[in-house]
Every structure is written in C-alpha cells, then in structure tokens.
Amino acid sequence: NEGSLWGGRFSSGPADVMAALSKSTHFDWKLAPYDIAGSKAHARVLHRAGLLTEEELAGMLSALNRLGDDVASGAFVPADTDEDVHGALERGLLERAGEDLGGKLRAGRSRNDQIATMVRMYLRDASRQIASGVLDVVEALAVQAEQHPETPMPGRTHLQHAQPVLLAHHLLAHAWPLLRDVERLRDLDRRLAYSAYGSGALAGSSLGLDPAQVAQELGFDGPVENSIDGTASRDLVAEFTWVTAMIGVDLSRISEEVILWATKEFGFVTLHDSYSTGSSIMPQKKNPDIAELARGKAGRLIGDHTGLLATLKALPLAYNRDLQEDKEPAFDAVDTLALLLPAVSGMIATLTFHPDRLAELAPQGFSLATDIAEWLVRQGVPFRVAHEVAGECVRLCEQHTPARELHELTDQELAAIHPALTPDVREVLTVEGSLASRDALGGTAPARVAEQLEAAKQRVAEF
Ligand code: ARG
C-alpha cells in the first residue's frame, strides 16, 4: 500500500471515509523540513548503533538531502494516498534511496516520537518569529512615546476621567505586557528544548539508539526523561497557544483604545490612510479595520487555546490519535499573528496624535480633585478630611450652570470650604503641576516617564 506506514495485518485498505478523516498532510506538510532534519539525525544514530553501514549512511543522507531539496522546490508534494507528512516523506525516501535502504530508516522510531519532536522544533522557530513581531509593536509604541514626551491626556479608570497622565506613560503601559509576552516565549523555549526522539511509540527504543545524540544534532538541550511523557504530553503546545492568546488579548486592548480614540467624540488620533479602510456607501468614512480585526482575532486565538485544552482533557496515556488535533490550533495561532503583528505595528507607528485635544481634555471631569486632597495632606490635613473637602470642591463646581472647573473656584469659595485651602493650592490645579507631583518610581512625572522609556528600550535591546 503505497504511502502507508502500516498494513501487514490488514486484509483490506482503509475505507475512503477512514482515509479522509485520518489524513493530515494538508496541514502537517508544514513540518516536512523538520521531519527530514530528524530523519538525518536518526540515520546517524542508526549508523552509530551498527544498524547502517558507512556506505548505507552516505546513501541515506544523500537521498534525504535530495528529498529535502525537492520538498523545498515543490517538486515533491504529498500524494492522495499519503496519510501524513511521515508517510509522504517515507514514500519520497523509498523513491530516492530504493526500498531496501530506504526501508531501514524507520527502525527504532515511531511517528509518535517523530511528531512530538517536530512540533517542538516548529514551535521553537515560530516563537522566535512571533517574538520579533511583538518587539516591533513595542518599538512602534516606544517611538510614539518618544515623540510625545510632554503631552498630557486624561487618564481613566472605569472609562471615566481619573487623573491626568502623560500620553507616553499610557502608551508604554501597553508596551510592558508585550515585553512580558516576549519573555514568556523565551521562557517557554527552555522547556521546548527537549527532544522526544528515541521515545518510540511510548516505551523507548531497544536498538541501542542514543536519544541524546539526536537531541544534540537537532539543536535541543537534551532528550526527554520519560518516553511516555515525550510522546503523550502536549502541555507545551498548550502553553504556546496560551501565550499567543495572551498576545492576541494584549493587541486587542491596544486596538480597542485606538478604535475609541479615533472617534469624533474622543478625537485623540487620526489613522493613516494606508492603515484604514473606507465604506462602500458612506464616502466620508475612515474605519479602524486593523484594530477591529485585531480585536476580533483575539477571540480566534483564545479559541485555538481553549479548543486544544478541551482536546487534551481526560486523554489517557500514552499516545492517542486525538493528539493530532494539536497542530491546527498552533499553526492557526502562528499564521494569525504573522498577519496581525506587522499590521498592528504599522498602524501604531503611523498614528497621528492630537496633543491639543488631549491636553484640553486632561484636566476636565475634575481629574485634579485627588491633587487637592493630596496637597491638603501635605499641609497636615488628615486624608479622610482632605478627601471630603476635595469632594465638596467638586460639588460646588457642579452646582454652577454650566459646571465650572476646579481652578475656576475663587479664593473665597476655597477658604469657605476649608481654612487650609489657601490660594497656594493652585500650584497643583494645573495639569503640569499634577503630573510633576507624581514623581515616585513608575509615576507619570515627565522625568520618570523619560526613564521608563529608556528602560523599555533597554529591554527591547536585550532580547
Ligand atoms: N499524525 C499523527 C499526529 O499528528 C502522528 C501519527 C501517529 N499515528 C498513529 N497512528 N500512531 O499526531
């Protein structure tokens, strides 16, 4: 049975529906280069164990190299009869090395340890590629922050005006979680760095093959300690899809703000024409589609993760065919982020912020009330009282039609609310004064934010 890795004990081939359900070449073909690398390492180990002569090893490696070239050029592709990447590549090897030599490669390995190893190799490469895309987003945020070192904006909690902050401070608040995502990918790589090769189907190999040698040749730190774990666990794939889901969520939170900021009501930013879309009926429209797709695709990335967890739940040891379902979610997460990350970094890099609008809104909504309270505390007033007093200032402003802002209260009105409220309080009743006063580490004072920017850039440079 051409392209099949089993069949001896069967009197019939698979039913069409069996073959159709079983087939995975339409997605696992992505792993072909890793499988060929694994096969070369495996051939060397067979040779070392005395199971391939010097000449056979040379013939095997040459056939595998030719097969690798043909896979890369597209001259060799899976056939309809191939069940999976492993079967297709064995067919390709037999065509190139001949049945006698090619048929020797499969000794001492199983698709179960092969696939577990290939997936790890794939995820290690994918992690590096994703990390670089995430760092580009961080960079775009940092460049915007750098261009607006003094621009204030309304900081919000509950989406209500809370306290003024620097735009740069806010932008960098999106950068740190992304930097942690990169760190998570790096950290995951330490666990991905163990090869399952040599685990066989589940129990290990009896042929005197050295898993450590394969591991080293494939760039792993070593082989897994337990062959059952090596073939049956997919926690690392799930950890990967958790990180990709988290990246999706982090991009979605940035995007949600961009969507709000680009509305007429906010008016904080204008999107670049090349990073926005129009409407087929409304000529005036300029839509934040990248941000909306990022928000939407976060749902998809979360689905990749939760779907995989649901597949893994309650699977008995060791290998079960359910495990084949690990690949599409992981691949989908990688493909999704490959599209999304450059679009989001481009969108952020090309945003035009409107500093006047941001500055105008920064003190509105009584966002300096906390500054009054904290100023009173510095005059020796207990915070409980100070909080009440500042609240009364807000109430007095609101009684007026139209409502006044805190700095519009007269000296007499302030003194009438509390004797400690002297005209000196006005030093914190400006956005600049408020920002400058929050000068503890991590605060929004311009000097602190400048340091923070340097720290973020330093982190990027370290990765
Ligand atoms: N295609 C399978 C997977 O992706 C590997 C093949 C193992 N098949 C088997 N019948 N043991 O997990």
Q: 286 is in which domain, residue-wise? A: 112-208+225-356
Residue found by looking up tokens 């990180």 in the block? 243
Residue 111 Cβ contacting ligand 1 at under 6 Å: yes
| Ligand 1 atom at minimal distance to the Cα of residue 24 | 1
- What confidence score (pLDDT) does residue 100 get? 96
- List residues bridging with 152 in a β-sheet: 166
Tokens linked to 120: 């790890």
Distance 25 CA to ligand 1 centre (A): 11
The stretch 169-195 carries a mean pLDDT of: 98
* CATH number of the domain to which 24 belongs: 1.10.275.10
pLDDT band at residue 6 using 50, 70 and 90 as cut-offs = confident
Residue 24 Cβ contacting ligand 1 at under 6 Å: yes
Is the pLDDT confidence value at 11 over 90?
no
Domain contains 245: yes
- What confidence score (pLDDT) does residue 2 get? 58
> Are 44 and 121 contained in the same domain?
no
CB atoms within 10 A of CB 56: 18
Report CA-CA distances (Å) from 132 to 176, 185, 342.
Answer: 15, 11, 10
pLDDT band at residue 33 using 50, 70 and 90 as cut-offs = very high
Domain contains 94: yes
How does pLDDT run across 222-266, given as a tens digit for each residue?
A: 999 999 999 999 999 999 999 999 999 999 999 999 999 999 999
Q: Which of 114, 319, 331 is the pocket-test mutation for ligand 1 (most atoms within 8 Å of CB)?
A: 319
How does pLDDT run across 397-425, given as a tens digit for each residue?
A: 999 999 999 999 999 999 999 999 999 99
Distance 49 CA to ligand 1 centre (A): 26
Tokens linked to 369: 């009330």
- Of 314, 332, 356, which residue constitutes the final position of a domain? 356
- What confidence score (pLDDT) does residue 7 get? 81
Domain contains 10: no
Coil/strand/helix, residue 293:
helix
> Are 370 and 439 contained in the same domain?
yes
User: Is 434 one of the annotated active-site residues of the chain?
Assistant: no
Tokens linked to 462: 């370290």
> Are 39 and 181 contained in the same domain?
no
- What confidence score (pLDDT) does residue 63 get? 98
How many helices (H) does the chain have, and how many strands (E)? Answer: 19, 6
Q: In 400-430, which residue ranges form alpha helices assigned H by DSSP?
A: 411-417
Domain contains 218: no
Could you say which of 73, 158, 274, 280 is catalytic?
Answer: 158
Residue 326 Cβ contacting ligand 1 at under 6 Å: no
Prediction pTM value: 0.95
> Are 260 and 201 contained in the same domain?
yes
Report CA-CA distances (Å) from 11 to 3, 6, 7, 22, 83.
Answer: 17, 12, 8, 19, 18
> Which residue type is seen at 195?
S
Q: Outline where DSSP puts E strands in 143-240.
A: 152-157, 160-166, 194-195, 222-223
CA-closest candidate to residue 339, choices 129, 142, 174, 27: 129
- What confidence score (pLDDT) does residue 3 get? 59
Q: In 380-440, which residue ranges form alpha helices assigned H by DSSP?
A: 383-399, 411-417, 431-437
Residue 84 Cβ contacting ligand 1 at under 6 Å: yes
Residue found by looking up tokens 């082989």 in the block? 223
Tokens linked to 339: 């599209």
> Are 30 and 126 contained in the same domain?
no
User: Is 279 one of the annotated active-site residues of the chain?
Assistant: yes
Coil/strand/helix, residue 161:
strand
Distance 112 CA to ligand 1 centre (A): 6
> Are 293 and 432 contained in the same domain?
no
- What confidence score (pLDDT) does residue 8 get? 83
